[in-house]
Amino acid sequence: MEETQKRMHASVHGIVQGVGFRFFVFQHGVNLGLQGWVRNRFNGEVEVVAEGSQSVLNEFLEKLKEGPQMAQVDEVQVEWFDPSGDLQPFTILETA
């Protein structure tokens, strides 16, 4: 039986800019075979959108909660959606 595919939209709060967070997320997204992107937000958050199987996204979410060594993750807000299938291999986008 094929596992359910989902789309995850996460906002990561804390000390998450200027500490290698986007590259950390990018590496894990690529290594887990996810489609999606990560970008800094002007409000100090990091925004992540990813699509993949529910179990892989859950593993990815745990990595977001940990963050790289220099980061301090205070909160990760997550919304779940049906996948759209319009995402490319994982990438880093410009700040928005």
Euclidean distance between CA atoms 51 and 44, whole angstroms? 23
41 is an active site residue: no
Beta carbons of 9 and 85 less than 8 angstroms apart: no
Place of tokens 């992107």: 37
Q: From 12, 64, 20, 61, select the one nearest 41 (Cα to Cα).
A: 12
Q: From 52, 47, 55, select the one nearest 35 (Cα to Cα).
A: 52
Active-site annotation holder among 7, 31, 39, 40: 40
39 is an active site residue: no
Active-site annotation holder among 7, 22, 39, 43: 22
Catalytic residues: 22, 40
